[in-house]
Amino acid sequence: MRFLPLLLLTGVLQAQQVALTFDDGPRTRATPKLTAGERNQALLDHLAKAGAPAALFVTLSNGADTPEGLALLKAWGAAGHRIGNHTLSHPDLNAAGTTLAAYQKELVDCDGVISQIQGYRPWFRFTFLREGNTPEKREGMRSFLKAQGWRNAYVSLDTSDWRLDERLEQVLTRTPKADLTPIREAYVAHVKQRATAYRDLSRRLLGRDIPQVMLMHHNLLNALFLGDVVAMLRAEGWTFVDPEKAFADPVYQLQPERPAPGQSLLLSLARSQGWKLMPEFERLMDDGDFEIAALEKRGY
């Protein structure tokens, strides 16, 4: 295995560490139940209660390009969290109509705002976790990031919280006073399944635990239920680490030969080694289909 010797030289880190990261924020659009300010503050309150340092990857046009959204963004920096780049408008680099030059400009335009914010780090997370549908785009972005001094802010523990957030908003739009217990339970179970599976994949692939970098989103779902997710992870033996510490692990310096579009670094590394995933990892390839199907059976 090409990457294994490098990784084993580092020894075994403290088991089951996870760094919390949130994409697409700060969102200022209207949602049921909570205002933009209330959602933002709820997320910050959950993190403060957990004592969990986090990172927010900013999509500028979701709100930070307005005075209201900029204030929400500054609140993350003031609370001690890291701030990273997630483009101006969230284009898909794999799309045929997205040129390399246009995508790179998206990063530069976003950075022009967020680089002035307390907590800023030169970290970039690819939109949709897609690094380009051609060798020219993939290599062009790798060269561009290196020249700019930006880190590829990989995700190792991917979740489909966005899918459950969509269902949550649909339910609340239809029934504002709906009992949200089934959605909360589905979300907590979803994160538990993903965390366990990616931990096990790391052990099988690398021979050790890594500090996992978990992907979530700046959304209503997490504003309501992040505290429940944190409690579950603690009960399962996970401890929370600063994303900066997690990214210091050498696994996050690797560049897989076969990026898995829209998937985690661990899955990309597995594909680079020619792995065929075992049945227990198949649910990592869906977008919360299992949980959505179960909710639909319950009328949600």
pLDDT of amino acid 2: 41
CATH architecture of 4-297: Alpha-Beta Barrel (3.20)
pLDDT of amino acid 12: 43
Q: Write the DSSP symbol of residue 157.
A: B
Element (H, E) at 54: strand 54-58
pLDDT of amino acid 11: 42
CA 36/CA 25 separation, integer angstroms: 10
Phi, psi for residue 166 in degrees, rounded to 5: -60, -45
Nearest to 191 by CA among 214, 217, 167, 168: 214
Q: Write the DSSP symbol of residue 102.
A: H
pLDDT of amino acid 287: 86
pLDDT of amino acid 15: 64
Nearest to 235 by CA among 13, 12, 16, 14: 16
pLDDT of amino acid 185: 98
pLDDT of amino acid 162: 97
pLDDT of amino acid 104: 98
| CB within 8 Å of 42: residues ≥ 6 apart | 34, 223, 224, 226
162-166-172 Cα angle (round to 5) = 140
Helix 220-235 vs helix 181-206: angle between axes, to the nearest 10 degrees?
Answer: 60
Low-confidence ranges of the chain (pLDDT < 50): 1-14
pLDDT of amino acid 191: 97
Nearest to 22 by CA among 125, 167, 141, 150: 125
pTM of the model: 0.93
Strand 212-217 relative to strand 17-25: parallel, antiparallel, unpaired?
Answer: parallel
pLDDT of amino acid 273: 84
Number of continuous H segments (helices) and E segments (strands) in the chain? 11, 7
pLDDT of amino acid 213: 98
pLDDT of amino acid 187: 98
- Alpha-helical (H) ranges within the chain are 4-8, 36-50, 67-78, 100-114, 135-148, 161-174, 181-206, 220-235, 243-247, 265-272, 289-297
pLDDT tens, residue by residue, 3-24: 443 444 344 444 699 999 999 9
CA 129/CA 239 separation, integer angstroms: 25
